[in-house]
Amino acid sequence: MTDHRPASPALLTDRYELTMVQAALADGTARRRCVFEVFTRRLPPGRRYGVVAGTGRLLEALEHVRFDTRELDWLADERVVDDATLSFLADYRFTGSMVGYAEGEMFFPSSPVLVVEGTFAEAVLLETLVLSILNYDSAVASAASRMTSAAIGRPCLEMGSRRAHEEAAVAAARAAVVAGFAGTSNLEAGRRYGLATIGTAAHAFTLLHDDEPSAFASQVASLGTGTTLLVDTYDVRRGVENALAAAGTDLGAVRLDSGDLAVLAHEVRAQLDEAGARRTAITVTSDLDEYAIAALAAAPVDSYGVGTSVVTGSGAPTCGMVYKLVAREGSDGVLAPVAKAARGKASVGGRKAAARRLDSEDRALEEVLVAGPDELVRGWSSADASLRGLHVPLVTDGDVDTRWIGADGVRRAAERHRTSRDELPRGARRLSADEAAVPTVTLRLGD
């Protein structure tokens, strides 16, 4: 009988990661020291920046990447790898190190958002897990950042769980909050990461009752006058009248989920104000994305509920991040740069540090990749006050920096995102298609 209990993240990978380890164990290269780098060659069409997200989830998962009896027995039964490799996997622990961009940080083409150093066998096994988490979470956060930017200070609320895989929904809620969303409808995301949760009632609750007034009266009796009443099940104007009759002028908010939201928002605002409900807020939903939010900038809307667009990356569901070997120990024990030369998919060899050059107003001018001899790059720090270093320690000799994990990690990432986005050049938040907001340049040490 198949065991369907939740497993270790160890098998959330591709078969060839393990078969490479098997071959490397056999030829003696598995324990060569290696440096892998995560980056994207280009941003999605029209995007001007990306947002790093998922770092905290990756570090949480890393602590549980273990090949226990269940995983090992399955690998043996399926003859995925040989006995020597199974023996190696039984003792697998990542004892290497990682540095990377702080979660919430902006990134651009070629930004080395994560650098993984360890033996080949230890580090290559993490490739798929790293990319699965960072590609999805960063795609959601990048879209969410465009939405919160377009909202110009009005709260955005994530409510896309039903449009995603159940675990992706949790990850999406977390990534959206990293990028500035004020809360989520997903309770598991709230429990795991200390996120504010939101939500009151759907159209089904109104349709359950004999009429709209009795539905609203029931909701107010249960949740209080501060609740949000959904007023567009039948007729919006009559819905607002019924909402005020149920809750009075202390009604917390009304929600609009259909129709011409801009026109309706103006009409409903006038109706509420005329009735004396000036503090009653208006929240809008209905397949919003960053463009719809921007179009509502002049409407009297107080908050936006976003579902499908945010959990799918608003048309860019992945960031195209890759995990490439950039340096490896040779037979002489020296760490040497290596690079892929394939046309259109070339990589730049060698360990790289990263910094962002800022002008006198703390606006980003350049993304700076620091390259050169390994010993110089490893210990690089700049005396140039215009350069802000971007790499922070995440894992040191197998020990995870817990500052990036859990609710505190999400809060720290959201703060980093606010600060980093404020560094973007003026005009970089425009939704119109354009090039990356800042160019990427290379600073070579030792030249």
Report the CATH number that the domain containing residue 214 is assigned in CATH.
Answer: 3.20.20.70
Instruction: Report the pLDDT value the prediction gives residue 236, as an integer from 0 to 100.
Output: 98
Report pLDDT for 46: 87
CB environment 139-152: b (16+ within 10 A), e (fewer) = bbbbbbbbbbbbbe
- Choose the most confident range, by mean pLDDT, from 118-127, 377-386, 438-447: 118-127
Residue finishing a domain among 236, 270, 301 = 301
Evaluate if residue 438 carries a pLDDT over 60.
yes
Q: Quote the pTM value.
A: 0.95
> Residue 434's pLDDT is what?
85
Task: Give the tens place of pLDDT for each residue, 44-69.
Answer: 998 999 999 999 999 999 999 999 99
175 domain residue, yes or no: no
Q: What is the DSSP string of 380-439?
A: -----TTEEE-EEEEEETTEE-GGGSHHHHHHHHHHHHHHHHHTSPTTTT--S--S-SS-
pLDDT more than 70, % of the chain: 98
Nearest of 222, 196, 217 to residue 206 by alpha carbon: 217
Note whether 421 and 178 are within 8 A (CB).
no
| pLDDT value of position 336 | 93
Residue 91 confidence (pLDDT) above 80? yes
Q: Please indicate, yes or no, whether residues 16 and 125 belong to a single structural domain of this protein.
A: yes
Query: How far is the C-alpha of 316 from the C-alpha of 332, rounded, in Å?
Result: 44
**Local structure of 167: helix, strand or coil:** helix
| Predicted local distance difference test score (pLDDT) of residue 345 | 72
What local confidence, expressed as pLDDT, does residue 433 receive? 84
pLDDT digits (tens, 9 = 90+) for 336-364: 999 888 777 767 899 999 999 999 999 99
**What is the overall mean pLDDT for the chain?**
95
Burial 361-396 (b: 16+ CB within 10 A, else e): eeebebbbbbbbeeeebeebeeeeeebbebbbebbe
The CATH number of whichever domain residue 383 belongs to comes to 3.20.140.10
Look at residue 90 and tell me whether its pLDDT is greater than 70. yes
Pick the range with the lowest mean pLDDT from 14-28, 310-324, 367-381: 367-381
Position 243 in a domain: yes
User: Is a pLDDT exceeding 50 seen at residue 122?
Assistant: yes
Q: What pLDDT was estimated at residue 7?
A: 65
pLDDT digits 0-9 by tens, 140-155: 999 999 999 999 999 9
How would residue 39 be classed by pLDDT, with cut points 50, 70 and 90? very high
183-236 per-position pLDDT tens digit: 999 999 999 999 999 999 999 999 999 999 999 999 999 999 999 999 999 999
One domain, residues 13 and 133: yes
- Does residue 383 form part of some domain? yes
Domain residues for 347?
A: 9-141+316-441
* Domain end call among 270, 301, 332: 301
Domain co-membership, 248 together with 357: no
Q: How far is CA 202 from CA 155, 285, 289, 330, 375, in A?
A: 20, 12, 20, 62, 60
- Whether residues 109 and 233 fall in one domain: no
Rounded CA-CA distance 10/260 in Å is 48
**Residues 335, 277 share a domain:** no
Same domain, 18 and 131: yes
Angle between helices 261-274 and 236-247 (to 10 degrees): 40
397 contact partners, CB below 8 Å, separation of at least 6: 95, 96, 97
Does residue 162 lie within any of the structural domains?
A: no
Please check the confidence at residue 383 and state whether its pLDDT lies above 60: yes
The domain tally of the chain equals 2
Does residue 2 surpass a pLDDT of 90?
no
pLDDT value at position 29?
97
Q: Which of 248, 270, 301 is the last residue of a domain?
A: 301
Phi, psi of 417 (to 5 degrees): -60, -45
Give residue 1's pLDDT: 41
- pLDDT score for 419: 97
Residue 312 has pLDDT above 80, yes or no: yes
Amino acid 340: pLDDT: 81
Whether 273 shows a pLDDT value over 60: the answer reads yes
Residues 69, 39: one domain? Answer: yes
Pair 332, 436 in one domain: yes
CA dihedral of 373, 36, 101, 446, whole degrees rounded to 10: 10
What residues have CB less than 8 Å from 265, skipping those under 6 apart? 256, 282, 284, 296, 299, 300, 301
Is the pLDDT at 3 greater than 70? The verdict is no
Q: What mean pLDDT is predicted for residues 322-331?
A: 95
- Give the position of tokens 């780098």: 37
Residue 310 lies in a domain: no
